[in-house]
Amino acid sequence: MSWKIEKWFEEVFPGEENIYLEYKNLNPRELAIVSSGVCDLALAELISLRLHDDHTECSSFLGANGDGRAPVASFGSRIQLAYLLFIISKQDVRILRTIKSIRNSFAHKVNVTFTDKDILKQLRVLGEEWKTMSINIGMLDKHKSTSLDSLLKIMPTESAAGEALLLSVFTVYQAYFHRIRNRIARIDKFIKS
């Protein structure tokens, strides 16, 4: 069987310069579901670049052939495997799992917004993890994080604040996945003949 789902890099990734423009006009439900779906698809492709170079077996293992029963067909299992294969960090795991939880809330509830109590709880976790990661990698000075802190404070009353946080995290991850894509070495390179 060949790869049937979209290829993240070839068919979905809009390019680093266009990520924000591609997704900024989605409605809240679409943003929650699509951003998670795109990250899920990106992880499937990144994992496939690490695995043994057997296209048919990789497609089957990752569920890329359309079989949802595959061992690594879910976003959660892809997050876990990407971590175990040293593709993403433990902090990435926490952030991506939070994005997955937000997606699940929007996908499985009819009446949900970015200001709902459950979503706000998940957004606070996402915001704090994002703040910690941003400080750790030098993207944000811990003494000058007032913009992010302000965003987190207005989330209970402003749906757009939660949307902005998710969109910001998502677009940075898209650029990050793009940059690490060419650095992922197949497991075959580590095995001596």
**Residues 62-121: pLDDT tens digits?**
998 887 789 999 999 999 999 999 999 999 999 999 999 999 999 999 999 999 999 999
What is the rounded distance in angstroms from the CA atom of residue 110 to the CA atom of residue 192?
53
For the chain, which residues make up each domain, given as ranges? 8-185
Each residue's pLDDT tens digit, 128-168: 999 888 888 777 666 666 677 888 889 889 999 999 999 99
pLDDT tens string 49-72: 999 989 889 999 999 888 778 999
Its CATH class, for the domain covering 8-185, is mainly alpha
User: What are the Cα distances from residue 86, in Å, to 28, 66, 82, 169?
Assistant: 32, 26, 6, 20
Q: Which two tokens stand for residue 102?
A: 């937000």
For 6, other C-beta atoms within 10 Å of its C-beta total: 16
